[in-house]
Amino acid sequence: MISENRFEQQIRALEPWQQMLFATALSERMFLNFALFSRLMNFGDLEKMRNLLSSIWEEQMQRGTKVNYEVQLNHVEDNIVDLDEYDMFGAIPARDAMMALFSTLILKLEQESDEAVAVSNLSYDTIGAYVEFAEADDQMSDEELVRLINMHDLMLDEDAFQEELLERLSGTSFKPAVVETVRELAQNQGVSNIGISDED
């Protein structure tokens, strides 16, 4: 897919609270991919996962919500799709969304910048897998496939989204209002990183 994450250094340079907000925003944008799969396949506990992600936002806004991240790790793990059990593409973005949420919890617990980078990469990987599934053909060379993925509108949109996130966070001091504006950005008018909407 993409050979390297061009934002990696910027992500690693963020303060821990900024990295957490960055990862939460990407998890929010990917969440609809899990929600659609969960509804279609009656998989997992969609309400619990939605409430968890909402609680993570609320805690970052300092609204008194406290999340037990260690306990929630097990709940998220229970909602990670086993690709061996589902022979359908939708399982991949659903799995990636929960893996992003899992990494976000680990990031909060361990404050390791690797986890923030991992969430960024997961979002890119989801898009790459979707473009290959939806638009690639067997006749394409590896170079043509890489070009198709990297120049696709969804990938360019992801670049712009992550870049805007980093611009909003870099050099910013903490304010609940910053969290609110980032949350609104991440909700992306109800459309996920691969173009799935609330109406799908």
Token pair 């899992």: residue: 102
Token pair 């406290």: residue: 66
pTM of the shown model: 0.95
Question: What is the 8-class DSSP label of residue 80?
Answer: S
Nearest 5°: the CA angle 101, 159, 189 is: 65
Tell me the per-residue pLDDT of 149-163, one tens digit each, with 9 for 90 and over.
Answer: 999 999 999 999 999
Task: Transcribe 99-127 into DSSP letters.
Answer: HHHHHHHHHHHH--HHHHHHHHHHHHHHH
Tell me the per-residue pLDDT of 111-161, one tens digit each, with 9 for 90 and over.
Answer: 999 999 999 999 999 999 999 999 998 888 999 999 999 999 999 999 999
d(CA 71, CA 22): 22
